[in-house]
Structure formats: C-alpha cells, structure tokens
C-alpha cells in the first residue's frame, strides 16, 4: 500500500475520510470535480453525526458513474484534541473504510490544518495512524484475504515544507513501529535469539547502523553471569546484540537497552499454560529499541545512539538456575534468586552494566515487559517509568507527549531500597511491593551516577484483542517515544 500527498484538484479516490470537529461539519466539501454535500442539520438533529470524538458516519456518492464512499469521523472539541485521539480517529475511520474494499482512500485535511495550524503534526500523525491501523499479523495464514487497497493520499491544498517534513517522519517512524510489532509477533519457534540477531544484522544494513553479535563464549568472557543464568537451560544459545549509530562524532552518546526474552516459560518457577501462550511477546522491549534504532538511522539524526539486547530464552532443564541460588553479575553484585520468573531484570542488569562501562554511553534508557504488577498500577494504557534524573525524565515525558503515548513516572522513597536487600546476598531478584518500582530500582543498582530511565511496558506492549485502531498482538509502544528522545537530543 502506497502513501502519498496531493492537492484536492488532483484526485478523486474511491473512499474519502473527512475528519470533523464537533459541531463544525461543513455543508459542502470539494475534491477535484466532486462536490460532497453533507446534510449537516439532518445528521445533527437525528444524532447520526455531530463530530463527537471517534464518531463515524458513512455515505455513498456517485461521480461520473463511479461510487465514492465518504466517511465522516469526529474529533470532538477542537480545544481538547490530543495527538492520541487524532490518531485513534483517523485509524478507526481508515479501518472501517478499508473494509468496504475500496482501492484508494483520500484523507481530506484542508479543514483540520486550517483549524489547528500545525501542518507538521497533522501530517506525521495521519501517516502514523494509517500505518498502525493497516498492520495485521497474518504471516502464517495459508489463505490470506485479498487486500484491494493500493493507495492512500493525504489531501491538502497548501502543502508546505513543514507538512512534507511531518509526512516523511511519519512514514519512517510508522514503518519502524511495524518493524517492532512484526518482530515481537513472531512465534518463538521461529524467532530464536539467533534468528533475531540475523534479522537485526539485515535491518542494520538496510537502515544504516552497525551491528555486532556476541556469542556464548564472548558473553561468558565478559562475566555476564546473571544473563547466562537465565539462558543456560535452553537449547537455543544466547546472543548479545549491539547496535551502533554515530551521527554526531564527538558528542554525547545515548544508550537504549531492550529486554530480549524471545520466550519465557518462567524457568523452574514455571508459568501456567495460559500465561506462557503469549510469552513470545516478552521481547517487546527489544523490538522497540530495534525499531527506534532503525528510525534514528534512517532519519540520519545528528545524535550518537547505541542499543543493546541480551537475547535468550528462559526455559526448564537439568541445567536450570533455581529458586534459592545465589548468582553473580557483570557488575560484581551477588543476587539471591527468589523466583526464576523474575528473569528479565537479570538479563537487563548485565546489559545495562555493559552499555555504560564498555560502550561508554552518557545516558541510558532500559525498556522491558518486566512486571505484571504494572497492570495493577496503571492498567493497559500507560507505560510506567522510574528515573534517577529529573531533567532526563522530563525529556522522556516530552517525547511520550510528542508520540501521543502515555507515561507515568513513579515516586521513589529511600525505604524502597531497603526492600532490595537480602541476608544471604547483596540483592534479591524479588523485592517486596511495590513490585514495579522495586524492579526498576533493582536495575538502578547497576547504573551508577549517569542519568537513567526505566520503562515498564508489560501493560502496554501487547493487546489480547483488537482495540481502538490497532489489531491484536504487539503494539510497538515505545518506538516513537525513544525516537523522539533521540531527536530531541540531536544537534
């Protein structure tokens, strides 16, 4: 499916999306020689369409003996419009109109751009909404539905440089949200740590960043004992993936660390079958940093970015690490294993220690499907953050705002650090509640003094069923905020 932009005199698509603010629906819209007359008062009086948030109305017009499907979609009150709700509205309308088997869709933006005066943001969010709504994971369907839609056009008469820049960025970020979703949706029998590393190499070649893969011997040489403890029961060897992009030689370097459990059975603290069935998604953090790295490199941002993923499986076997074990770590601290299903933080601490001490990054963000308790705290719509630096955290919050995603920074009190201690080791991998916060603070013990942010996406990274304008499965949350963080730090 091709996405482009044209003015209203150059196109009559088979389907047209017209976004409207509440009580601001025009009576007539003109596209090329097509005059679309909207019975505004009738729709309002019968409460069929008033422009309320996410409200839709569809009608069919005949032009030159051709049918044109027109869909109105409500944005609600102009003063309350958010990027998130705009993308929901466009995505919802797109999915509904696509289901009518049209071959081309136009999104009429003249009224919206004139109302909000932000060509860049409208272009970016329109494109991203379309790409996100269009994605559906069907790689393994032997009989696939025919996709009749071939082209989507953003319709705007006054196309300027801001609009084009927003369009181009929306394409790059939207496509790489899909990269994250596609990787995370792959079944674990296909996307092993080795296969993940091979795909990252290809993505690096395509996008313009360097990739280095450490195998078991190198990981062992680096004394990543916590990471290897998690990986050792699986017949699939671990792969430590390093991605490097140098867009600002001599400048500071940003680091991303993504949790890369390509499958998590829980180890000897085994999950129930229902809990294991979606554990291919436990590498959602890895998918996000890979997608963000691709977007940064493709955009040629003037920033230095290094991302790492400690990829492995957490399985059961005679060589499994066990509850009650005391293990070491690359950072030198000892850890009491209270539960082998609290494994993600063990891989992350070695990856975080590595990226700080070997790659010499100046700031670091780790992102992970880390705790079930985050859902109890924030539900499935908001990502949780823990940070040791107010300024860096504020930049992350701004990046989430620019992406139309939610994040909530958790408070940290000195008493929480006491919960990390264990009488037989330096730390325990299952500190007491609040579990999402103390899990983050466990990682912080391996950070040192540099600015750090932990993002827990366990509630937001995966949809069990279709929601809003997204299909079920991996959501790709985090890709856009990580990209915008890098962009905001670029020179």
173-489 maps to which CATH number?
A: 3.40.630.10
In three-state secondary structure terms, 38 is coil
Q: What percent of the chain has pLDDT over 70?
A: 99
Other beta carbons within 10 Å of 147? 12
How confident is the prediction for the chain on average, in pLDDT?
95
- Give pLDDT, residue 358: 98
d(CA 86, CA 75): 6
Among this protein's residues, is 433 annotated catalytic?
Answer: no
pLDDT of residue 115: 72
Q: What percent helix, strand, coil does the chain show, rounded to 5?
A: 40, 25, 40
pLDDT by residue (tens digit) across 436-484? 999 999 999 999 999 999 999 999 999 998 887 899 999 999 999 999 9
pTM assigned to the model: 0.96
Q: Is the pLDDT of residue 31 over 90?
A: no
Catalytic residue status for 345: yes
Among 26, 199, 271, 398, the one annotated catalytic: 271
**Which residues have C-beta within 8 Å of that of residue 73, sequence separation ≥ 6?**
17, 18, 19, 20, 54, 55, 56, 89, 90, 92, 93
- Reported confidence tier of residue 63, pLDDT bands at 50, 70, 90: low
Q: Structurally, what CATH architecture does the domain formed by 2-159 represent?
A: 3-Layer(aba) Sandwich (3.40)
Q: Where are the domains of the chain?
A: 2-159, 173-489
Report d(CA 475, CA 185) in Å as an integer.
9
Q: Which residues pair with 145 in a beta bridge?
A: none
pLDDT digits (tens, 9 = 90+) for 138-181: 999 888 888 899 999 999 998 999 999 999 999 999 999 999 99
Q: Tally the residues of the chain.
A: 491
Q: φ and ψ at 180, to 5 degrees?
A: -60, -45
Pairing of strands 427-428, 335-336: parallel
pLDDT for 111 beyond 90? no
Q: What is the dihedral of CA 443, 445, 450, 452, to 10 degrees?
A: 30
Partners of residue 397 on adjacent β-strands: none
Question: What does the pLDDT read at residue 64?
Answer: 65
pLDDT per position as a tens digit, 304-350? 999 999 999 999 999 999 999 999 999 999 999 999 999 999 999 99
Comparing CA positions, the residue from 207, 249, 294, 275 lying closest to residue 462 is: 275
Cα distance between residue 36 and residue 32, in whole Å: 11
What is the model's pLDDT at position 36? Answer: 81
Q: What stretches of 10-109 show up as alpha helix (H) in DSSP? A: 40-45, 83-98
| 384-400 confidence digits (pLDDT tens) | 999 999 999 999 999 99
Looking at residue 112, its pLDDT comes to 87
Over residues 424-445, the pLDDT tens digits come to 999 999 999 999 999 999 999 9
* pLDDT recorded at residue 407: 98
Torsion of CA 280, 286, 292, 298, to 10 degrees: -90
The pLDDT value given to residue 280: 97
Give backbone dihedrals phi and psi of 328, rounded to 5 degrees, phi first: -95, -175
Whether the predicted pLDDT of 203 surpasses 90: yes
pLDDT at 23: 80
Q: Which residue in the list 95, 345, 363, 487 is annotated as catalytic?
A: 345
Tell me what pLDDT residue 162 has: 95
């Amino acid at each position: 499916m091709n996405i482009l932009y044209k003015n209203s005199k150059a196109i009559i698509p088979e389907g047209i999306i017209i976004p409207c603010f509440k009580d601001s629906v025009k009576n007539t819209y003109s596209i090329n020689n097509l005059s679309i007359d909207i019975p505004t008062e009738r729709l309002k009086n019968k409460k069929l369409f008033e422009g309320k948030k996410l409200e839709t109305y569809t009608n069919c017009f005949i032009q030159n003996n051709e049918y044109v499907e027109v869909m109105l979609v409500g944005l609600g009150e102009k003063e309350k419009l958010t990027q998130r709700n705009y993308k929901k509205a466009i995505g919802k309308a797109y999915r509904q109109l696509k289901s009518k088997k049209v071959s081309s869709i136009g999104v009429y933006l003249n009224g919206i751009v004139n109302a909000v005066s932000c060509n860049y943001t409208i272009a970016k969010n329109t494109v991203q909404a379309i790409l996100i709504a269009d994605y559906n994971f069907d790689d393994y369907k032997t009989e696939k539905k025919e996709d009749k839609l071939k082209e989507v056009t953003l319709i705007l008469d006054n196309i300027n440089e801001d609009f084009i820049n927003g369009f181009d960025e929306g394409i790059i970020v939207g496509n790489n949200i899909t990269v994250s979703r596609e990787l995370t949706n792959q079944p674990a029998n296909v996307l092993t740590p080795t296969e993940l590393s091979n795909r990252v190499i290809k993505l690096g070649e395509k996008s313009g960043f360097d990739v280095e893969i450490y195998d078991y011997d190198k990981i062992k040489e680096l004394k990543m004992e916590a990471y290897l403890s998690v990986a050792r029961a699986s017949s699939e060897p671990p792969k430590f993936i390093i991605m490097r992009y140098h867009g600002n030689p001599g400048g500071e370097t940003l680091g991303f660390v993504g949790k890369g459990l390509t499958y998590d059975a829980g180890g000897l603290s085994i999950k129930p079958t229902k809990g294991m069935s979606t554990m291919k998604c436990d590498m959602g953090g890895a998918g996000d940093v890979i997608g963000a790295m691709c977007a940064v490199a493709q955009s040629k941002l003037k920033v230095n970015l290094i991302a790492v993923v400690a990829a492995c499986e957490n399985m059961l076997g005679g060589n499994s690490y066990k509850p009650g074990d005391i293990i070491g770590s690359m950072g030198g601290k000892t850890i009491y294993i209270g539960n082998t299903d609290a494994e993600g933080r063990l891989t992350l601490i070695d990856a975080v220690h590595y990226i700080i001490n070997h790659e010499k990054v100046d700031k670091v963000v780790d992102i992970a499907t880390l705790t079930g308790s985050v859902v109890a705290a924030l539900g499935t719509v908001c990502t949780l953050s823990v940070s040791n630096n107010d300024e860096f955290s504020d930049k992350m919050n701004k990046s989430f705002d620019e992406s139309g995603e939610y994040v909530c920074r958790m408070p940290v009190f000195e008493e929480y650090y006491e919960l990390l201690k264990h009488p037989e080791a330096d730390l325990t991998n299952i500190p007491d509640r609040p579990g999402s916060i103390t899990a983050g603070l466990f990682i912080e013990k391996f950070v040192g003094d540099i600015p750090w942010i932990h993002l827990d996406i366990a509630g937001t990274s995966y949809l069990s069923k279709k929601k809003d304008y997204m299909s079920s499965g991996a959501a790709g949350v985090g890709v856009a905020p990580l990209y915008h963080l890098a962009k905001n730090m670029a020179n």
